[in-house]
Structure 1
């Protein structure tokens, strides 16, 4: 299919082409011309075409596109009145709800620099990041005030506020009250979003995400993940993470109804899919596992047959999780392999995951992926090397001035992998996760995928630790299902039957929970030392 036919097909499916009120279509087009492919254009265009459609369903109720845009414009005016200028840095520490969306779009309309903070960051991390990035203002949910005790109160505005909100703090709702709901001019400086990396081994790095220059990234994304116009989309993945934000911002083009909840409760997600006949669910793999393990009575009494897309990313799909999920719910998983810095690399469809479990999928439109050796030469099919990628999603570098390394014009992902004979990508693990034990190269993921399939194991991570005899050895940190029992010898013996001798763990440590961040990645620096 040539580029023109591809573009027409995808644009028609997501509602960019088709019949509609000509005046509303013209107004939507004017917003795209004014703002370019950015959050303000997506929201304003959706409101121009479908003003009375419900835009967001959250813990506060429902709000239409017309009312959402009006609130965004009021907050934009309030930020300007407060003296904030294009280029100023404004931090957001928030869960998923309308006020986070309002803050995101308002800051972009201002031309500000958004700092998306992780809700699980520590008090010292948040203080350090706010100072390092020069935050002029912090928009936060009330529940996070304790970890912001070191931040001056005059710099804080509440996004989500409870009934007992402190009287000395103002809210976004208070700021918006009485402000004009008129639209705003395009700012002199383009808005920017800084997403912080997971920080699994140290202080998170700020990764600048540039807004796309045209619609090509959007069309590549929707060509691989078949969103449809005006669908209901349950966004369970956090909006402060690149995966949740990508689906929300790109999804605006399709004028969906978003279901946002402040806390992830697997049974509530399943009930939301049933109640609202949701076609799309946006999650990270850990959420999928929790949904598979949800209350069987809830699974049995709900109907999730409407679910056509379960868009997942953020960490590897452990073991046969994709198959377990699809067997429990619907054949709907589209697994996105990528990173904050790279955008997407490959996307696996339900068919890919049925026929080749564990694959990271195939290469999307206008994306180049090569497997290179340490000298930057492409390796033969089937051989493992470092995954490199190039696409239309611009990476603006880290806020400390550093950037990723490149070879042959492609970005180094830091992951090792290979292509099979069907041109499907398989990821072996992080380049820096590989350990050498007794002279053998060992990747923790092989053992993780094996152990997670043990009937007693609910969660597991494997890492390398120093060993005088072997150089390094594998240690497995395991969480058991409630009521299940397994000993270290049990799991070591199980592993011997599943993996090569050099991949069998020398230690098994049992924990109540693994220290995971909201996107499901294990914070390895917080694991016990052994």
Structure 2
């Protein structure tokens, strides 16, 4: 492992090189040397350096120190009915018990498969078969969906299993456990993406260089832990010896209260959660947040500006995917200068905008987005892969880079429509409509059209007591965009169908 000047400087700025008891520092780095930089290794280095520090707090009342989390995960590792190389489904909402299961599985070389809590029973059955799951550890609320599966293991039983095993010190498995994250499944059965284990401090420093999370930070991970961003937040937190604060469900008012009670100064969330926070009265008591970092879906520029106007310039937006990990990060300064931007590539990451032939396009011109970094996924578990050009992975998005080097995502490749010969990005119109003060949320999609081939349809959710008619919406779009961007169909809904990570399920919109 090479430690570069950038890594040393970043670790120093974020408090990771502060002096400590020599014997603890020796044990800390020995743990990383033996166990590596996955969850099991990061927990052990944290427990070696800061055993008494609070590691995880949740809304069930659980409060585990790093020493306690290591003890419970190690004992559970000896009790789980799996072996190295087995795949263990984890179908749980955010909790200390879920974290314990994830670490226990990787500690014995099993592969945790993070299962979306929003899957239907049919999708869940397909995932069990496709991923070859031996066991699915699950919250009680999902028991019915697992009826008939012999490997169903209620999360509540893991506490009994831990109590049945005496304290134990584990040796590193011959084969490190690899976490498998499922794709969103918005278009069918989710695929499993194998996540790489970091080879050193580089990936951590790439993120905390741009998002200034410090050692020992107290942060709420509101994003689901089964999601790439929530899981990344857990990895970062363990590496920083942070205190992780968890709630099973995100309820804006309750989340703010829980963050205040636990002295949180950082929040890891998905954009729709910020929207929920902004719907609370401006005078609602708030925690003293220094950082709110979001990822997982598009962040409307208007929402970014409104959030910072209320909470201060603390918002960071990470653009990435299950397959690419991260591509770019927008700082508060980026979002003030260009509210719709996805930011700039962090250290060690390359973003390229290519045309259909694979040639770079000039700044300002839309093309296909490709990304390269040391945390690209290792392929899908079904053997398929993503397109790669010159070591860069296709994100599946279209976008451009502005004159200042900031990345802008214009939309998904498969979302762009051709209407009357013109290329139209529904996300561009979504962002425009989201800026209307009457609009709570909206989605825009392409639908078939006999005359133009395709046309735009807008689905709009209004704020409480607000009113807006379709003609006013069309006039507004016509004033700011070309005529082919004006949605012909405008449907008002009480809410948009979303999955557990806040992505709109566009296939479920009425046609």
Distance 2:200 2:52 in 1: 28
1:424 to 2:410 alignment: no
Distance 2:426 2:44 in 1: 46
Q: In the alignment, which of 107, 110, 116 is matched to residue 109 of structure 1? A: 107
Q: Is the 8 A contact 1:212 1:394 kept in 2?
A: no
Cα shift at 1:72: 0.5
Q: In the alignment, which of 94, 116, 128 is matched to residue 126 of structure 2? A: 128
Q: Which runs of 5+ in 1 are unaligned?
A: 162-170
Cα shift at 1:172: 0.4
Q: Is the 8 A contact 2:191 2:381 kept in 1?
A: yes
1:258 to 2:244 alignment: yes
Q: Is the 8 A contact 1:338 1:346 kept in 2?
A: yes
Aligned residues: 509
1:314 corresponding residue in structure 2: 296
Distance 1:458 1:263 in 2: 21
Cα shift at 1:214: 2.1
| 1:113-148 deviation per Cα after TM superposition (whole angstroms, max 9, x unaligned) | 111110000000001111111111110001111222
2:57 corresponding residue in structure 1: 57
Cα shift at 1:204: 1.1
Cα shift at 1:226: 1.0
Cα shift at 1:303: 4.1
1:157 corresponding residue in structure 2: 153
Distance 2:34 2:236 in 1: 17
Distance 1:349 1:150 in 2: 48
Distance 2:379 2:312 in 1: 38
Q: In the alignment, which of 490, 493, 497 is matched to residue 508 of structure 1? A: 490
| 1:469-488 deviation per Cα after TM superposition (whole angstroms, max 9, x unaligned) | 01000001111222222232
Cα shift at 1:34: 0.9
Distance 1:183 1:501 in 2: 67
1:166 corresponding residue in structure 2: none
Q: Is the 8 A contact 2:446 2:456 kept in 1?
A: yes
1:173 corresponding residue in structure 2: 159
Q: In the alignment, which of 478, 482, 485 is matched to residue 467 of structure 2? A: 485
1:187 to 2:173 alignment: yes
1:207 corresponding residue in structure 2: 193
Distance 2:312 2:149 in 1: 46
Distance 1:477 1:90 in 2: 39
Distance 1:501 1:310 in 2: 37
1:235 to 2:231 alignment: no
| 1:13-33 deviation per Cα after TM superposition (whole angstroms, max 9, x unaligned) | 334312001111111111101
Cα shift at 1:282: 0.2
SS of residue matched to 1:180: coil
Distance 2:184 2:46 in 1: 32
Q: Which runs of 5+ in 2 are unaligned?
A: none
2:139 corresponding residue in structure 1: 141
In the superposition, relative to structure 1, how do residues 330 and 276 fare at CA in structure 2: closer, same or farther (>3 Å)? farther
Cα shift at 1:493: 2.4
Distance 1:453 1:388 in 2: 29
Distance 2:91 2:228 in 1: 14
Distance 1:52 1:130 in 2: 38
In the superposition, relative to structure 1, how do residues 523 and 150 fare at CA in structure 2: closer, same or farther (>3 Å)? farther
Q: Is the 8 A contact 2:36 2:42 kept in 1?
A: no
Cα shift at 1:280: 1.1
Q: So what's the TM-score if we normalise by structure 2?
A: 0.97
Q: Is the 8 A contact 1:13 1:229 kept in 2?
A: no
Distance 1:151 1:268 in 2: 35
SS of residue matched to 1:157: strand
Where do 1:274-293 residues align within 5 Å? 274-293=260-279
Q: Give the RMSD, CA atoms, in angstroms.
A: 1.5
Q: Is the 8 A contact 2:301 2:335 kept in 1?
A: no
Q: So what's the TM-score if we normalise by structure 1?
A: 0.93
